[in-house]
Chain A
Amino acid sequence: MRLFIHIFLLVLIISTPASANVFNAQMTRLDNGMDVVVIPNTRAPVVHHMVWYKVGSAQEDAGTSGSAHFLEHLLFRGTDKIPDGEFSKIIRGLGGESNAFTSYDYTGYYETVAKEHLARVMEMEADRMRGLTLSDEAVLRERDVVLEERRQRTDNNPTARFFEQMRARLFPDHPYGIPVIGWMDELSGLQKDNALKFYNHYYHPNNAVLVVAGDIAFDDVVKLAQDTYGKIPASQTDLSFTFPTLSSFDDLQTYSYSDPQVSEPLLLIGTRAPSYKQDPKMSLALQVIEEAVSGGPTTPLYNTLVIEQKKAISASLSYSASAADTASLWISVVPVEGETLDALTIAVQDFLADLLQTSLSEEEITNAKTRLKREAIFARDSLRTAPMVIGRALSVGETLQSVETWPEQINAVTQDDIKDALVFAFGEQARQRTVVGQMQVEK
């Protein structure tokens, strides 16, 4: 039993699982450029339907943080065909669930319904790809809702505020350093035009991916897609986007956070690392390292800091490979009572120096790979996992092939790849990409 801190799940969603072909998905592209992926799953007479737009908070204009997410909310506020407030109600009336989410690189909308309702859902989702009509009143009310969402997720929660500040420091002058939900002062000034500008530029079939999982044939989905999304013309505008270059720090950055609401200390170390898209080889090695070092209470990080040294209550390392630009790796440790964060920081640094020195044993690497490959099997035990993993991969610029062959790629990681990745993540040079953050209880 170990108690992990799940703050990362706010932005990152589990590491990507995948065998020879993990999910057996099929894919095609409509004439207007929209990608269509179908994942067979016959367990229940249900389909999970998702539309992913390859745009997220990273594409927001300066000073308008929160607009991508704000727009996501507004997509439920009406089109010519479906009045404000009716979208969710109609899905409910079909016995279905619907919701949406926004991240740095993508925005996703989904509905889970009995398979006979798939056509209706596709019609509705296609309608709001281009058909949004917003009243000023609805926009202002929805902005109030998003402000409450920010208060609930972040402003009422010291750990979330700390994490937000850590990201801002790890990714300075880069969109990944700006919270997806937006900074309060910018969010509260967002107007209908901010959202509509974003909508009109980015919400087009050639910037979207349709993913359907369930008890339904590929050809049937493609036909339905042609009749709905296929009718929408592609945008002729250039939708490409370039990320600003991240510069190195002069040296290790440190950050100390405190406020009256902090009631338990936390050490959080963030390091920038390549995403799978940027450097598949190193990313795969980092995935193996994550599992080998922090896969459970008997792997070295927890075992050393919590069990042997008794300096920490919990300790975990997480790396999320999926990003259009640079990814990040986080170590999070809660000290035992009486242990200072400074002393704990040194203990973690010693641990990492040791890891760098001795690397991982052949056995540790093999075991970690075996466990990761099994994750790909467990991933199939859920209707929603495959569309999530595949939709995200395609949205950030990876390929379906990269997901389907993930276990083989993990298997191919070598001892040398591991060493290179350890040097990159924890070597001397890594100091220039790392922020050490301490959240302290106020004296």
Chain B
Amino acid sequence: MTRFFLTCLCLFTLFIVTGCDRDDEKILDIQTFTTPAGFDVWFVKDTSVPVLSTTFLFKGAGAVVLNEETQGLTQILSNMLDEGAGELDSTAFQKALLDDSIQMSFSASRDNFSGNLKTLSEKKERAFELLALALTEPRFDAEPLQRMINANLSRVRGNLTDPNWIAARITNDKAFEGHPYRLNSGGTLSSLPEITVEDLQDFTTDYLTQDRLIIGVAGDSTQKELSALIDKTFSKLPKAGVSPEIANIKLQNQGQAFHYPLDVPQSVVTMVLPGITRDNPDYYAFQVMNQIFGAGGFGARLTKSIREEQGLAYGIFSTLSRTEYAQILFITSSTKNESVGQLVESVKKEMGKIATNLVSADEMNDAKNYIVGSLPLSFTTTDAISGTLVALQEENLPTDYLNTFPDSIQAITLEDIRNIAAKMLVPEQIMTVIVGDAETLDSPVQTVSELENVR
């Protein structure tokens, strides 16, 4: 589960780190065009290396549309699409990819189903031909299906004693109690073996549809070439699919603490708070505040207090998770079992400080400079660029967003930072999850003895 959790976070991270310190220069020279068949494409041309990276995403086709019985289906689908299509069985398809060094991957998050196609530009025709096959004529043969189910069962069994995975599992179960987000998008020991070819076919028809598709491309190609390749690849997908009604959910179990006893020397600690949406007017103030408080580790107050001054942990991060139906802010760390209480109290103390006292102007400026200045650092691979192009579209942001963003950040004041901290960093609202052999915990905790959505 951790892995899928992290997948969501990665996309979102692209947005924390946004901005530009050159007013006259575009961070990314984004071209947009519509193909003859009607697909909108965002493209950054870069011919410095003869490679091409294409990222595509089916919005809303995530694990959130599954239920207890079918959890894990999108995970298996992401494993199965490159396991044989058209005339090519699993081995023939994989050999075709390998022979031309074409990297095709799919991934399933809670909200979306996405994929990436990375190829040498000289192999792009073949790469898109294979992608078209994978998306429109997947075989879902019995042999690879069983193999993928077995591999995922093995992964789940291997995770059963991993404190980080357990902490993520309980966090989802408790934070989103009553909502599909509580489920295990990686599948459970009982749900995975029940996944059938029909399930995969139905999901593909219902959800991998043109109306959900978002495309971003970076690298060595042209609009003309891409138009033809994209139309050939995606035109055969169903025009539209189903859209189940899913409700938003607020953070559940606020003020509660959960402990899962596990015989390990170090406890994993997760503290969860209600988050914030992008369209909230305080969103940029939050970003600057969180940069100072704990995002990104080094240079942040949490790292200074917990790691540098007290030596309590190797890392501590405060991260906003913005998914379609929920926003949470979570603080994650791990510390030797006997220090859990001290770590939790120290985090609360830092919350209180930033919510009460103004930060210094230097601290604020450093945070703004980092948020704005670090943006180009991530645009040094075609995969990162095509991924960003998709993430921007997924959020309905304009192509010049990366250039206008810095002004929104620079406008934030010391008071804005304190106000948003006071609004969001409320100790009484924290939901805490501790996994490990923690001995003395000050506040009352509920013991979790059986993990849900695992077996």
Contact = CB atoms under 8 A, between A and B. Distances in A.
Contacts of B311: 140-145, 148
Interface in B17-58: 21-22, 25, 46, 48-51, 53
Nearest to A158: B161
B95 interface: yes
Nearest to A115: B376
A151 B83 CA distance: 38
Interface stretch (B151-159, B170-178, B199-207, B282-290): B151-159
Contact of A377 (B51, B80, B264, B310): B51
Task: Pick the most buried of B82, B159, B370: most chain A CB atoms within 10 A of its CB.
Answer: B370
A296 B98 contact: yes
14 contacts: A46-B376, A46-B377, A46-B380, A96-B370, A114-B376, A141-B310, A144-B311, A145-B307, A145-B311, A151-B336, A295-B98, A296-B97, A306-B147, A377-B50
B348 interface: no
Given A42-B48, A148-B312, A383 B380 contact: yes
Contacts of B98: 295-296, 298-299, 367, 371
A3 interface: yes
Contacts of A313: 150-151, 154
A298 B94 contact: yes
Contacts of B352: none
A206 interface: no
Contacts of B91: 297-298, 303, 307
Contacts of A314: 151, 154
Interface of B: 21-22, 25, 46, 48-51, 53, 78-80, 82-83, 90-91, 94-95, 97-99, 101, 118, 120, 143, 147-148, 150-151, 153-155, 157-163, 219, 263-266, 296, 298-299, 304, 307-315, 334-336, 365-367, 369-370, 372-377, 379-383
Nearest to B146: A310
A44 interface: yes
A374 B312 contact: no
Contacts of B160: 263
A4 to B, nearest CB: 10
Nearest to B266: A151
Contacts of B94: 296-298
A210 B157 CA distance: 45
A152 to B, nearest CB: 5
Contact of A264 (B51, B101, B154, B314): B154
B49 A44 contact: no
A299 B163 CA distance: 34
Nearest to A112: B377
Contact of B370 (A93, A143, A144): A93
Contacts of B382: 381
Interface stretch (A52-60, A84-92, A192-200, A241-249): A84-92
Contact of A261 (B150, B264, B379): B264
A46 B374 CA distance: 10
A220 interface: no
B410 to A, nearest CB: 13
B240 to A, nearest CB: 28
B366 A263 contact: no
A95 B154 contact: no
B12 to A, nearest CB: 18
Contacts of A101: none
A141 B309 contact: yes
A264 B307 contact: no
Nearest to B91: A298
Contacts of B53: 381
A380 B379 contact: no
Interface string A29-54: 00000000000011111100000000
8 closest A-B pairs (Cβ-Cβ)? A95-B373, A144-B311, A88-B298, A92-B299, A383-B380, A93-B366, A264-B158, A151-B266
B398 to A, nearest CB: 21
Most chain A Cβ neighbours within 10 Å, of B148, B312, B380: B380
A92 B296 contact: yes
B377 A96 contact: yes
Contacts of A306: 147
A261 B263 contact: yes
Contact of B372 (A95, A260, A378): A95
A316 B50 CA distance: 29
A334 interface: yes
A174 interface: no
A97 interface: yes
Given A96-B377, A141-B311, A303-B91, A264 B336 contact: no
Contacts of B159: 263
Contact of A1 (B80, B310, B334, B373): B80
Contacts of A97: 374, 377
A28 B45 CA distance: 34
B313 A148 contact: yes
Contacts of A155: 264-266
A134 interface: no
Interface string A77-111: 00000001100110111111111000000000000
B369 A156 contact: no
A141 B304 CA distance: 11
A294 B162 CA distance: 28
Given A295-B98, A313-B154, A93 B369 contact: yes
A254 interface: no
